[in-house]
Amino acid sequence: MAAPLSKSPLFSALRSSSSSSSSLPHISRRNYHVELAAREKALLEEDPALKKFRSYKKGVKLTSKIGTVLTGVAVAACSYQLVVKAMT
């Protein structure tokens, strides 16, 4: 019967090396939330000059959906042709 992975020497070496690096005070595994500065908040606000370009996103989404449907139709047509050729 094989030994459990947690008791293997390789796993214990990896575990000891990872625990020694996490004990360093300047390296933390937890990410702490930092409040945004005024500049970041200003960059995240909605820009009124760009409001007229809102419809652009809808057009891109529609074009993407049409492309996806056409790709599906092309794949289905090619598959159908291969099946017909294989049957004859």
Note the pLDDT tens digit of each residue in 11-52: 565 555 555 444 555 555 667 778 888 998 888 888 888 777
Query: For residue 44, what are the contacts with CB-CB under 8 A and spacing of at least 6?
Result: 36
Query: For residue 5, what are the contacts with CB-CB under 8 A and spacing of at least 6?
Result: 11
* DSSP notation for 58-86: HHHHHHHHHHHHHHHHHHHHHHHHHHHHH
pTM of the model: 0.39
Report pLDDT for 85: 95
